[in-house]
Structure 1
Amino acid sequence: MRRATIIGAGMAGLSAAVELARDGWKVELSDSAAQAGGRCRSYHDPQLGRVIDNGNHLVLAGNQAVATYLATIGASDRVVGPASASFDFVDLKDGARWTIRPNDGPIPWWLLFAGRRVPGTGIASYAALGRLLVGRNSDRVSDRIDLSGQLARLLIDPVLLSALNTDPREGSARLAAAVIKGSLARGGKASAPRIAEPTLAAAFVEPALAWLALRGGRLATGTRLRALVTEGDRVTGLDFGDGIEPVHGPVILAVPPWVAQSLLPGLSAPTEFRAIVNAHFAFAPPPGTPAMIGVIGGTAEWIFAFEDRISVTVSGADRLVDTDRETLARTFWGEIAAIHKLPTELPPWQIVKEKRATFAATPEQDALRPGAATQYRNLFLAGDWTQTGLPATIEGAIRSGVTAAKLANRLT
């Protein structure tokens, strides 16, 4: 049986493993962490007495790589959301609330109706989204569209900030355009939000590991790769610190960029990163609470309501990573309580800060992203930081794993 080795069991590594196993390979995964999943991990938090995700990761109905991955591992029903796109927003500045409701098809007739648009915007202002789609790879979002108006403040800014995890004023227009082309430009059907239930691990990780195990796949956790042993144009061994393991087939490195650079000196990869801050509260939301609501003018940016908890996500959150955790919890809960009309008493909480959550999605950092192939004919790269054509998203991570697996398949 053909064997492949995958270093890193996050979404990129798992998707590469699934792709190869589907083609008859026996895959061996290893990860330095105690569990698979990478940044899409779930764990029991004793402070909350609940299983929570490290962060709230949104996918869209039109994410084809995600859909194929979930269908393959039998987990398509583990992500849920409305049949059509519908996004709730609230502005803490004046208490205004509205819902963006694109129509299902690609011809945007929804713009003809004021009740479906951002408050105070006319049809003509949405032409800005069209201008975003054309330009140079070196363009920032702010080079292509005006980010000073009502539409930018109430829709473009919050949506692109969450997609890029980078302020749109410095963010890559190319990557922002790729997000729009894959979602809103295809219509509301492709833009409908999907959230993992009950957890990220239950949707994306556990079904994949079970599916792989049935096909002879193995996972070793708590195992860190120290070095690659090479000979000519091939990787011939892997050093995990307790001897050299020989390699006879393809190897896929699905690790963070700084780890890949330590193993492959001279590798071009992003060097700047942006933080994400998440908050979780042990409070069951009352019936009718929106599953997700965007917050304008607050510290929180997106509030997610699960069956047994309420969570907050803040993207591009470098300004918050050094803030006292309890201060953040009280700030977030104050906004949640005001928006959802809940008691102001702070429930049990947890704050999760990821200082290097994603690469900075600027044109300069995007240009540093490598492809999947390396100078070694049996070594390939995967990860949302590689050149996927997308920002650092679950869709991009899964796409990168598929790309690396297809290259590995060519070795035979």
Structure 2
Amino acid sequence: MTRNIHIVGAGLAGLAAAIRLSERHDSRVTVWESTGKAGGRCRSYYDAQLDRRIDNGNHLMLSGNRAVLDYARRIGGDARLEIGAPDFPFLDLATGARWTVRLPRTPLGLLSRHARPPGVALRDLAGVASLLTAPRGATVAQAIRGRGEMWRAFWEPLTIAVLNAAPEHADAGLLRTSLRRTFLKGARAARPVLAPEGLGPALVDPALALLERRNVPVHLRAPLGEVSIKDDRVASLTLGGETITLGPDDAVILALPPSALGRALPGLPVPGDGAAIVNVHFRVAPDPAARLPAITGLLSGRLHWLFRRGDVVSATVSAVADDPFWTRPRDEVLAEVWPEIAAALDAPDAEPLAARLLKEKAATFDPAPDSAARRPATQGPAANLFLAGDVVQTGLPATIESAVASGDMAAAAALRGR
């Protein structure tokens, strides 16, 4: 007998769950999305001001992100991904120093001087051991005591980038899991995975096309209303103003961000909202653009990471909640951060051809230890209700890898729960 599985949320978690479930012939899958476009926080669109296609946010994927790469292969999006060399260029804006961290083939090679920032001694790597043995509930700052060059050039920017929070606020366990699955395995798991055409064409559009071929409907502009639970089962859903009654074998996957999940299921403990993330995009002249690597880390400035795609240089600034600078008028902000881009381009007199500033509020869940401890399990508060999204207990921070992995987990749980 065919069962109905309703997936609420068409971000990467919901799409990943739909792809998994649509591979079977005993389930009728339907996807519901409250907005007018699938992809969630991983979307690409044409920006008229830049006259280019851009992503709404920058996301660093690595070759150790097995869930993402497997998902890309399943949907046929892997042809639109490129795996780069395990080299990470940096620029210190205060000193003008440039260097490249080259990750070795094996974990033992991490002891090499080429695998650490300049000025970092071998003894400074003791922070790695401290992080790996940190107790539950510790922050990154509590786990790693040293505050030397390794802290300034590695631990602090890494924590802010991965967890969208300062080390004093971020859960050490989340950073530990991320490093164990990527950088601590050596180059094979830490090569950057790039999407030259954009994240949407690589991870969203192929999934939607595949779901269409499999006759899986994706309903847009269908916000979730009431989730009615009776006798330990979801009895009905209100979606887009329509009430859907579930049969005895039917199931629901809620693939929602924390705040939306909390509204849908009052009483369910969920993490708080994390800090905002700002993305600035500059279209620049082709010659200086070509000199910039695809990814560059910045120190001693307001910008943290640069991503170049063609002649567009995008900068990501994480954990901006407490910085009033980012509340200033858009043109003032762009004018002040442009010199950092120009320095990275090694073109101090250059001017941008066009610019765009985007701010995403509550871009991630709050990664503080007490907040992260409230991440819900895949099994929801009813026998036929399952949860997905990077907010669930994947062990990872709020990343693309976590979102896709959560969708896989929810799909597997829904099949087991039949």
Give the TM interval when normalised to the shorter protein.
over 0.9
| Aligned partner of residue 236 in structure 1, secondary structure | strand
Q: Any conservation in 2 of the 1:60–1:183 contact (CA below 8 Å)?
A: yes
Tell me which residue corresponds to 2:400: 394
Tell me which residue corresponds to 1:57: 59
Q: Does 1:404 align with 2:410?
A: yes
Partners in 1 of 2:390 and 2:201 — Cα distance? 21
Tell me which residue corresponds to 1:174: 173
Distance 1:345 1:70, change over 3 A: same
Q: Deviations over 1:141-175 (max 9, x none)?
A: 11111251101101121112101111112210111
Tell me which residue corresponds to 2:277: 276
Partners in 2 of 1:35 and 1:272 — Cα distance? 22
Q: Deviations over 1:335-392 (max 9, x none)?
A: 1112212343232111110111001211111111110112211111111111110100
Tell me which residue corresponds to 1:80: 82
Tell me which residue corresponds to 2:198: 199
Distance 1:322 1:291, change over 3 A: same
1:180-329 alignment runs, 5 A limit: 180-240=179-239, 242-248=241-247, 249-283=250-284, 284=286, 285-318=288-321, 319=323, 320-329=325-334
Tell me which residue corresponds to 2:90: 89
Candidates 325, 331, 346, aligned match of 2:336: 331
Candidates 33, 36, 48, aligned match of 1:34: 36
Q: Any conservation in 2 of the 1:164–1:392 contact (CA below 8 Å)?
A: yes
Partners in 2 of 1:90 and 1:200 — Cα distance? 26
Q: Any conservation in 1 of the 2:103–2:114 contact (CA below 8 Å)?
A: no
| Aligned partner of residue 170 in structure 1, secondary structure | coil
Q: Any conservation in 2 of the 1:225–1:239 contact (CA below 8 Å)?
A: yes
Letter in 1 for 2:17: A
| Aligned partner of residue 310 in structure 1, secondary structure | strand
Tell me which residue corresponds to 2:46: 44
Tell me which residue corresponds to 1:374: 380
Q: Does 1:353 align with 2:354?
A: no
Paired positions, count: 409
Distance 1:105 1:23, change over 3 A: farther
Q: Deviations over 1:66-94 (max 9, x none)?
A: 111111111113222324x1110000111
Distance 1:214 1:238, change over 3 A: same
TM-score by length of 1: 0.96
> How much has 1:185 moved relative to structure 2?
1.4
| Aligned partner of residue 90 in structure 1, secondary structure | strand
Q: Any conservation in 2 of the 1:303–1:310 contact (CA below 8 Å)?
A: yes
Moved more, 93-102 or 17-26: 17-26
Q: Any conservation in 1 of the 2:289–2:310 contact (CA below 8 Å)?
A: no
Tell me which residue corresponds to 1:8: 9
> How much has 1:116 moved relative to structure 2?
4.1
> How much has 1:13 moved relative to structure 2?
0.6
> How much has 1:135 moved relative to structure 2?
2.5
> How much has 1:115 moved relative to structure 2?
4.2
- Percent sequence identity over matched residues? 39
Partners in 1 of 2:241 and 2:12 — Cα distance? 27
Distance 1:201 1:147, change over 3 A: farther
Q: Deviations over 1:91-119 (max 9, x none)?
A: 011100111111112222x533x344311
Q: Any conservation in 2 of the 1:312–1:332 contact (CA below 8 Å)?
A: no
Partners in 1 of 2:331 and 2:382 — Cα distance? 48
Partners in 1 of 2:65 and 2:262 — Cα distance? 29
Q: Any conservation in 2 of the 1:333–1:344 contact (CA below 8 Å)?
A: no
**C-alpha RMSD of matched pairs (Å):** 1.5
Q: Any conservation in 1 of the 2:292–2:344 contact (CA below 8 Å)?
A: no
| Aligned partner of residue 363 in structure 2, secondary structure | strand
Q: Any conservation in 2 of the 1:21–1:212 contact (CA below 8 Å)?
A: yes
| Aligned partner of residue 368 in structure 1, secondary structure | coil
Letter in 1 for 2:318: S
> How much has 1:236 moved relative to structure 2?
1.8
Q: Deviations over 1:166-206 (max 9, x none)?
A: 11122101111001111121112101111222111001100
Letter in 2 for 1:2: R
| Aligned partner of residue 326 in structure 1, secondary structure | helix
Distance 1:168 1:375, change over 3 A: same
| Aligned partner of residue 278 in structure 1, secondary structure | strand
Q: Any conservation in 2 of the 1:121–1:150 contact (CA below 8 Å)?
A: yes
Q: Any conservation in 1 of the 2:258–2:273 contact (CA below 8 Å)?
A: no
Q: Any conservation in 2 of the 1:57–1:195 contact (CA below 8 Å)?
A: no
Structure 2: where are the runs of 5+ without partners? Answer: none
Partners in 2 of 1:243 and 1:102 — Cα distance? 53
Q: Any conservation in 1 of the 2:62–2:192 contact (CA below 8 Å)?
A: yes
Partners in 1 of 2:326 and 2:23 — Cα distance? 41
Partners in 1 of 2:224 and 2:366 — Cα distance? 26
Q: Does 1:156 align with 2:162?
A: no
TM-score by length of 2: 0.94
Partners in 2 of 1:266 and 1:379 — Cα distance? 15
Tell me which residue corresponds to 2:138: 139
Moved more, 176-185 or 141-150: 141-150
